[in-house]
Amino acid sequence: MLKEYDITGKVVFITGAGRGIGKGIAQVLAEAGADVAINALTDKYVVDTARDIAAASGRRVLPVLADVTNSEGVQQALDQVFKAFGRIDVLVNNLGDAMRAPLVKLPDRKGQTASDEQIKKVIDINMTAAILCTRAVGPHMLERRSGKIINTSSYTAGRGGKDVVLYTLAKAAVVGFTRAQALEWAPYNIQINSIAPGFFPEPLNMLNADEETLKRMSAYIAKITPLGRAGQLREVGLLALYLASSASDYMTGQTLYLDGGLSL
């Protein structure tokens, strides 16, 4: 491995990493030598994911159960990470989820509009959690004058999306947050960047879908994506490795679109 990409011994904390993109990032960073703490709200996937990644990589992988959309949950998570590893070198604010519902009922459409509770939930999961985790980890990184933060945005942040107004709002805010916080902490040798993924499906993300539905979704993704396919979880992990390593020391405040051309 090129020395600039070697993160052996680094400690990484990843939110929303029991499955999907967070899992893909955790797998690659552990393979590259990092000890990884992976967060989820419940133990439904994250415990098995941690065990599998540890077995495959030979690194320490800690499952962290906590709700990082509120300050108390963030502190609970960090207490677990610092107790196990003593520090955090890389924070990956990956937690996110979409909700398809219009803000106002459309004349020619059926279905429910977004409730107050749903609005808060989408913003908390996709934006607030990143802000709270960054605020909590910040003093530690500032004191050491060293750190990497990777936020997960979305290709929709740059182009919008039908039925995903709230998700787009939150992910666009992540882009702005990345730029502003990166500028504020640049003098202290902390680099903050974000990844804006396209479609990175995993079977676990579609547990209620039958085989025919999965085929239709794959065909739809291939049709609308310029490169003609969905992304693979390892691919987003490899980009995260660049941002977590010293190879990206001269990059900060940027959002990198990894979307097969969807944002073009």
β-sheet bridge partners, residue 192: 149
17, 23 Cβ separation under 8 angstroms: yes
Strand order in the sheet with 90-93: 61-65, 35-40, 11-14, 90-93, 147-152, 190-197, 255-258
Dihedral (CA of 152, 157, 163, 169) sign = positive
Please state, in angstroms and as integers, the Cα–Cα distance from residue 203 to each residue in 208, 215, 244, following that order: 10, 11, 27
Distance CA 205, CA 182 (A): 31
Catalytic-residue membership of 257? no
> Catalytic pick from 45, 155, 167, 242?
167
Distance CA 234, CA 127 (A): 24
Relative orientation angle of helices 116-123 and 165-185, to the nearest 10 degrees = 30
133, 74 Cβ separation under 8 angstroms: yes
Distance CA 174, CA 204 (A): 25
Active site (catalytic) residues: 167
